[in-house]
Amino acid sequence: MFPPLLVGAMVSGLATIGSLTQYYRQQLGPMTLHEVRALGHLAPTPIALATTGLVKLVGTLGCEHPGMSVQGGIATAVHEVHHYAIEGRGLRARRVLLRIERSESPFWIEDDTGRVMLDPEHCRIDFETDTGDGESLVDELRLRLGERVAIIGEVQRGAVLAQHPMRRSQASAGDGLRFVRSPVVTWRTDPEVMPRLLPPTGGVALSASTLGMAVLGALLQI
């Protein structure tokens, strides 16, 4: 009885590892654990007051040349479109990535105090995903125009002032604010959509019980 139980435990363990890997890829996206914790615990810094160090900026997205979503005609500030084809037939059929289209125009985030300009080539973007009906050959990853987003990154500032578009007084603008490394831009600003670091317990418990039975079987065989 021991070898079949051991094989079953190994298969179950590998399946659990694969499931956990997929879970954390979906939850973390391009973020590190440090950035996830900062997203949940750092208080937002007004753009005008951001000077040096790690900050969380929260504001709305804008851009001079918005794109249009391929699914639903929604105005987007930045997006990626993944095009697929089907290879094989029947049970062997699988989606194969053909190409990726990325928006290249700069976009910005602004709050009541100022604006920060961003280049999509120098950002790690945690997109919202639209996969259509589940059998679509096009997946769109996007951040919508006017959407509320957060940026986590380490900044430095130069002494530059600019006119805020909605105010008569001068406000600190993005020209003087520089990210030391590529920041993370994410749509996850509300507590209910924050990344969850604890995986579902059901699958993990099932794999643990299978492994436990295998160990018990080994002990009974001794």
Phi, psi angle pair for 198, to nearest 5°: -95, 120
pLDDT for position 161: 41
Question: 150 near 58, Cβ under 8 Å?
Answer: yes
- CA proximity to 125, closest of 109, 113, 137, 110: 109
What is the pLDDT averaged over residues 17-44?
76
**Alpha-carbon gap, residue 79 to 58, rounded angstroms:** 19
Report field, pTM of the whole predicted structure over 0.85 = no
* 153 close to 179: Cβ distance less than 8 angstroms: yes
Q: Which whole-number Å values give the CA distances from 217 to 6, 12, 13, in the listed order?
A: 8, 16, 17
pLDDT at 173 over 60: no
For residue range 58-68, list pLDDT tens digits in order: 999 999 988 88
Helices 201-221 + 2-28 axis angle, to 10? 160
Give the pair of three-digit tokens for residue 13: 């363990």
Strands 128-130 and 138-144, by their bridges, are: antiparallel
Cα-Cα end-to-end distance for the chain: 12
Q: Which two tokens stand for residue 207?
A: 């794999």
Whether residue 143 contacts residue 124, with contact meaning beta carbons closer than 8 Å, is answered with no
The pLDDT score that the predictor gives to residue 44 is 95
138-170 confidence digits (pLDDT tens): 888 999 999 999 999 999 886 544 444 554 433
Position 204 scores a pLDDT of 52
Paired residues of 170 in beta bridges = 163
Q: What percent of the chain has pLDDT over 70?
A: 65
The residue among 123, 100, 210 whose CA lies nearest residue 174 is: 123
d(CA 41, CA 211): 37
Provide the pairing of β-strand 184-186 with 124-126: parallel
58: DSSP letter: E
Q: What share of the chain is helix, strand, coil (3-state, %, to 5)?
A: 30, 35, 30
In this predicted structure, what is the pLDDT of residue 89? 85
Tokens of 93: 């059929």
State the chain's mean pLDDT as an integer.
77
**What single letter denotes the amino acid at residue 51?**
T
